[in-house]
Amino acid sequence: MKQNRKVIEDNTLINLITPVGLTFQKDSVTVGEIKGSIYGAYKYPQKVGYGWIADIASEKNAITTITYYPDDSLLEGLSDSVKKYKEKAANAKTALEYSRATRAAECANEMVTKIDSNNESIGQISILTMPLCTKENEEAIQAVDRSVKSAYMRNFIKLHKMSREQEQAYKAMSPYYANQPQIDTMLKRIMPLSTVVGGFPFASSGFVDDNGYYWGLNSEKGLMALDAWCRGGDRTNSNFAVLGKSGTGKSTFIKHLIEIEYMRGTRILIIDPEGEYAKITTMLGGQVLNATGGKGARSNPLEFKAAPKLNKDDIKDDDDKKADLYKDSIGALALHLKTLEVFYRLYKPSLTDAQSDLLKQVLIELYLKFGITWNTDVTKLKSTDYPIQSDLLELLKEKAKDKASPYKSDYDQLVLYFTDIAQGGDSFIWNGHSTINSNSNVICFDTNELQNVSPNIKGAQYYNLTTWCWNEMTKNPNERVLLICDEAHLMIDKRVPEALYFLKSASKRCRKFTSGIVVASQSVVDFLADEIKAAGQALLDQPCYKVLFGTDGQNLTETANLFNLTNPQIELLEKQEIGVGITIVGKNKMKTYFDLPDYKFEFMGVPKVTGGAVGRKKSA
């Protein structure tokens, strides 16, 4: 049966597709009541400013079309042009010719280096613009023309009126876009994608997140704003690895990060072996705890909390099991005995396996004496319910009294070891009940006073505090917590790799608890020693955010290998400029100037360097 359907005509649409009265003159186009001239951008400056596209396209009485054709194969051609310009300079007959060719060669070379070093995409751009006016108001066109031209001049872009090519230019601009080879030949120019993207305000190539905070400036001096809690694609965690030689700006960057995160409500825990985070902690209303036995700052290694619960499915790989961060089938006490084993071995690396096993038995007995068994619900216990080091020493002494014991000599040795921790020189740090009771949003554990004690004590206390922090990070899965481990190489003890395994496993798992770990160190090499490589490498590699500052020697070689750096990126790190580094987010790498405002330095307690330090070479 024949259907009678009424067709509704949309005259506006018809006019758009087939405009009535579309005529082309030599220098202009008329579309119905509208008249205008089309211009093409044919020359660009060697450097464009941030937001340049927004600037040239903001004239409301003009239509601008920007077409970008990505084509990574152009890099070869660009590289060839460096050679061509150099040859041209060598054969130049006039000073002007020479200077132009040299400048062009330098510029092309700089672009090749930048594109290569940042793994950037490259392509060709073509820009057409059409200032408009109505036919009744033709004199207005001059004002619009002027305004458009001055926007281009401001950005050092040269415009050319497409005389005799108005028709092709109009077709190239039209929404039903038709490829116009003649226009392409005249206007297409090579440009890195970041320059195009950076032309829009608040945009750069993938380093501006919706909820991002000021991070730094990219190589174009464009804004970088990152949200470390953003998920999606290859951004699966909120961990950081911050690497670079001493004095290049790691701690300064971390302080900047602390401020950013504090502002967005993240709780910050800092382990501060250099005693340099006190100022920022105080400025942010946080608490500085002297973690060398200071008042209200003791963490009794013998105290433990309920272990964080995690699904069995989440614990898949062997390293996780090795690190034992979770309550699996075993209870909190069993888990804590493993933590203690690592702690005591860090403290006394000369403990033999047999002594370590004996110590474990004595610890179980000690806990039993305090009414703590495998099944005790530790959430109900107070700090004073736990034994302290002198209780352990007493029990060990008792054991050593038994002359018939086959382990007599080992007990004697243990008594000797534990006299120091319970009564002697090291008792000030650990012998006593826990006194840390801070719900502050910023807590800084200052271990600076351990500077002059043995690295074993430092390492053991670092581990002790990290386990305390891990508990804080996991107790409320919805609370965002960032743990700062500056000078993290202190956690490396090749004889006790478990300490590093702990940190690695914590950093792998913390995303489940909306937490992140920042690991900062001068030394990459230390993390890659054979004994700890499996954990060390993952700790540097796993974080979605890496910030690399200048370095040299073996550290530079290892950094380059680990992060797959290109030659220009290696050269950038080799320069060791203060506050200049490479930000790696997932697979993207970008040169970053950590150009921070003065007020931030006041907050940080970092001496302000007059004239601005960013980019200045680190003095030897």
Ligand X SMILES: Nc1ncnc2c1ncn2[C@@H]1O[C@H](COP(=O)(O)OP(=O)(O)OP(=O)(O)O)[C@@H](O)[C@H]1O
What is the binding site for Mg ion (CB under 5 A)?
250-251
**Residue 244 binding: pick among Mg ion, ligand X, none (C-beta 5-8 Å cut-off by kind):** ligand X
CB within 8 Å of 456: residues ≥ 6 apart: 346, 347, 348, 349, 493
Q: How far apart are the first and last CA of the chain?
A: 92
586 or 605: CB nearest ligand X: 605
**Residue 113 binding: pick among ligand X, Mg ion, none (C-beta 5-8 Å cut-off by kind):** none
Amino acid at 87: E
301 or 550: CB nearest ligand X: 550
Interface with ligand X (CB under 6 A):
244, 246-252, 522, 578-579, 594, 596, 606-607, 609, 613-614
Minimum distance from residue 580 beta carbon to ligand X (Å): 8
Q: Which helix (H) or strand (E) holds 86?
A: helix 74-90
**Residue 216 binding: pick among ligand X, Mg ion, none (C-beta 5-8 Å cut-off by kind):** none
143 or 609: CB nearest ligand X: 609
Give the nearest residue (CB) to ligand X: 579
* Tokens linked to 88: 């041209």
513 or 603: CB nearest ligand X: 603
Minimum distance from residue 43 beta carbon to Mg ion (Å): 46
Dist. CA 91–CA 518, nearest whole Å: 55
Minimum distance from residue 436 beta carbon to Mg ion (Å): 24
Q: Which runs of consecutive H residues, i.e. helices, occur in 273-407?
A: 278-283, 318-323, 332-347, 353-369, 389-401
Minimum distance from residue 249 beta carbon to ligand X (Å): 3
**Residue 594 binding: pick among ligand X, Mg ion, none (C-beta 5-8 Å cut-off by kind):** ligand X
320 or 526: CB nearest ligand X: 526
Give the dihedral sign, CA 19/24/30/32: negative
251 or 339: CB nearest Mg ion: 251
**Residue 522 binding: pick among Mg ion, ligand X, none (C-beta 5-8 Å cut-off by kind):** ligand X
Minimum distance from residue 392 beta carbon to ligand X (Å): 36
Give the nearest residue (CB) to Mg ion: 251
Per the CB < 8 A criterion, the answer to whether 36 and 141 are in contact is yes
Query: Measured at the alpha carbon of residue 253, what is the angle toward residues 613 and 436, in degrees to the nearest 5?
Result: 135
Minimum distance from residue 597 beta carbon to ligand X (Å): 10
Dist. CA 272–CA 296, nearest whole Å: 17
Largest pairwise CA distance in the chain: 115
**Residue 613 binding: pick among Mg ion, ligand X, none (C-beta 5-8 Å cut-off by kind):** ligand X
Question: DSSP state, 176?
Answer: T
250 or 591: CB nearest Mg ion: 250
Minimum distance from residue 526 beta carbon to ligand X (Å): 13
Q: What three-state secondary structure class fits 618? A: coil
Dist. CA 392–CA 359, nearest whole Å: 9
Q: What three-state secondary structure class fits 548? A: strand
**Residue 222 binding: pick among Mg ion, ligand X, none (C-beta 5-8 Å cut-off by kind):** none
